[in-house]
Amino acid sequence: MLRNLLTSRSPRIYGLLTALPYHSFRLIGVLRTMPRYKHLTAAIAALATLGALSACSSATTSASGGGVYTTIDENNPITVGAPMNPFNAATNTFLGYDTMQLGFTKKNPSDPNDAFPGLAKTWTISSTGVTVQLQPNAKWSDGTPVTADDIKASMAIALTQGNATVGAGFLSQGLDVASVKAVGAHGVEIDQVPGVNNLNFGRLVLSQTIVSNKVYGSLLPADIWQTIADSENTDVAVAQKAVDKLTATGQRVSAFAPKTDVSAGPFAITRINPGSAVLDRNKYFYDVAKIAPKQVVIRHYTGNSQIWSYMTNGELDSAPYTAIPSNVLKRILSAGYGRVDSTSYVDAAIAFNESVAPYNNTAVRQALAYVIDRQAVTKVGEPVGGVANTYNTGLIDSEAKTWLAPEQISGLNKYAPDVAKATSLLEAAGFKKSGGTWHLPNGKPWTITLQTVNGFSDWIAASTVIANELTAFGIPTKPAITADFATYKKEMAAGKYAVGWWLTALGPETSKAYQRYYGTDDGYTQTGATAKHSDAANAGNWEHTPTSYTLNGSSFDPGQLTAQLSTMDLTAQKPVVQKLAQASNQEVPMIQIWDYTNVQFTSSKRFTNFPKQGQDALLSNPPGVWMMQGYVQSK
């Protein structure tokens, strides 16, 4: 249906990232995510330095009875002039602090709907939808109760965000809500579109951003739910009219700039300047007794080095991982920070545009995989937070070992560095080496431009190693840097790059992971358990992988299989995941370089009782969620 198409075509992470992905990786995930990927202008950096000093000083003196918790938000470096609106692409809001959800995902590979309570105290998930029981004492920071009307307005807004603005589309993630209604005093029933059997529906509902109907409700047309229903109409003209109306509404919502931050979270923003955001404890928060800090200061940052400087000076109480060289890590640890590692369902990979020769040739991609030494590249690009990927399945290695049988794992091609095999593959494909360099079958010299992004320090460092390896093999390769990630995504979607970096394996849900290979960026638009494919120039298809793979004598459409994953329980998923993993290893649509590790840093100088090693579910969420669960206490 057209509305499904609208909400599923989310701009990429991410998130990531979707991203997120992310999404977890929140897929824009992904992909306004991860501070290793941030970059702003020198002018803003200068303002940030002054602003950080003034904000830090004022915050320290204004807080009492709980202390000031200082950190950064990996999803948001603070954008000058951006509104306090979570639906804006450059939002100045902060998930887990002032921005709330019904629940916060635990990223549990065995249960995608497993979550920590948020505004929902409990919930039940059925084949038709989700019924939540709201926290009975939940209130907004203006003192008004959180009600079913807030949930209904928030779900409607999510369904307008598919194409509203770059960066906002990740909010819906293919959400298929048909209706929202109150059930009793604190219950809310969110029903799935009839006939859609998305096993991730519970997670999608719980992870939607919840805002105040009092603040945002007037932005929605009175007939919003009829418009949502019309977008599913089998009459294409009716559906298109509804989709256009939803898109216009989404644009209006994303552009909205509230005068004050009305929050149902543990904190609410009291002021923002170029250097920091200051959030005071929300006295109306439903579980305020658990929230130790009186105030949170979220610092602006312009890049990784500024975050390193904050930590080496002991200024942050916690920080997410950034790409860090080993010598800087030593300085951070010497400053009194503890390192906590947890699983990250994110991978850095080299992606190909298969509409550009010779990358449409499987043998070529395999040969390049044999030339690139992933261990050597990881040691330079991600020596602290990366582990070289071994199996190249589209999943991180630990997840591949979970889904594939031992004999299937042993049958995978590890593409260990082997110049002889690479040479043999290329020669068999008609390539010739002359004067120390390789020439294409048409006789033209073969050169590679490896695209990466300004501010992605790990990718940039790794690109130099890869370029040296490929050049030494006889394929002159040079790294190229795009100014910012927004431009990178736009130009990649337009098919401008033949070879470039990409975030993959955005799990733990296998459907999300394989969407990075055989989803929107490969021209597939999913509706329920089916997918339509387009190679049109405006379809956002920059991967251009074949719509048919052959594995062990059997042919299948990888995009169709990927679409089916979201409707299958874990047992039914297994053979599909195994087929996609083995085919991805065989066809090499991307070369996975390293699996990220979720490395975080905490300081016990001012606060104690942080999540520990092994608490992956908590560590996958921001510190505001830790606080909601009773962690982070003042010393």
pLDDT at 537 over 90: no
Question: Same domain, yes or no, for 591 and 615?
Answer: no
Question: Same domain, yes or no, for 62 and 191?
Answer: no
pLDDT digits (tens, 9 = 90+) for 144-191: 999 999 999 999 999 998 643 333 333 345 678 999 999 999 999 999
Question: Same domain, yes or no, for 482 and 550?
Answer: yes
For the chain, what is the radius of gyration of the CA atoms?
24
Question: Same domain, yes or no, for 418 and 495?
Answer: yes
Distance CA 43, CA 41 (A): 5
Overall domain count for the chain: 3
pLDDT at 52 over 60: no
Q: What is the pLDDT of residue 232?
A: 84
Higher pLDDT, 1 or 276: 276
pLDDT digits (tens, 9 = 90+) for 69-105: 999 998 888 888 899 999 998 899 999 999 999 999 9
The parent domain of residue 144 ranges over 100-255
Question: Same domain, yes or no, for 429 and 381?
Answer: yes
Q: What is the pLDDT of residue 41?
A: 33
Is residue 256 packed enough to be buried (19+ CB in 10 Å), middle (13-18) or exposed (0-12)? Answer: middle
pLDDT at 64 over 70: no
Q: What percent of the chain has pLDDT over 90?
A: 73
3-state secondary structure of 223: coil
Last residue in a domain, options 223, 255, 287: 255
Domain membership flag for residue 249: yes
Torsion angles phi and psi, residue 101, rounded to 5: -130, 170
List the beta bridge partners of residue 338.
Answer: 602
pLDDT at 400 over 70: yes
3-state secondary structure of 62: helix
Question: Same domain, yes or no, for 251 and 271?
Answer: no
> 472 CB contacts (<8 Å, ≥6 apart)?
none
The CATH number for 56's domain is: 3.40.190.10
Q: What is the pLDDT of residue 127?
A: 86
Whether the full predicted model's pTM is greater than 0.75, yes or no, is yes
Question: Same domain, yes or no, for 564 and 473?
Answer: yes
The CATH number for 510's domain is: 3.10.105.10
Confidence of residue 628 (pLDDT cuts 50, 70, 90): very high
Length of the chain: 635
Question: Same domain, yes or no, for 246 and 288?
Answer: no
3-state secondary structure of 419: helix
Q: How many CB atoms lie within 10 A of CB 428?
A: 10
In a 13 Å sphere around the CA of 131, the CA atoms on its Cβ side amount to 10
- Is residue 140 within 8 A of residue 212, CB to CB? The reply is yes
Q: What is the pLDDT of residue 76?
A: 85
Question: How far is it between the farthest Cα atoms of the chain?
Answer: 79
List the beta bridge partners of residue 271.
Answer: 278
Distance CA 227, CA 165 (A): 19
Q: DSSP states of 311-354 as a string?
A: HHTT--SEEE-----HHHHHHHHHTTEEEEEEEEEEEEEEEE-T
Confidence of residue 304 (pLDDT cuts 50, 70, 90): confident
pLDDT at 542 over 90: yes
Q: What is the mean pLDDT of the chain?
A: 87
Distance CA 285, CA 624 (A): 12
Question: Same domain, yes or no, for 251 and 331?
Answer: no
Residue indicated by tokens 């590890």: 414
Residue indicated by tokens 């290979």: 517
Mean pLDDT of 517-521: 92
pLDDT at 1 over 70: no
Domain membership flag for residue 386: yes
- Is residue 567 within 8 A of residue 529, CB to CB? The reply is yes
Residue type, 44: I
Torsion angles phi and psi, residue 548, rounded to 5: -145, 125
Question: Same domain, yes or no, for 113 and 169?
Answer: yes
pLDDT digits (tens, 9 = 90+) for 333-385: 999 999 999 999 999 999 999 999 999 999 999 999 999 999 999 999 999 99
3-state secondary structure of 139: strand
Domain membership flag for residue 480: yes
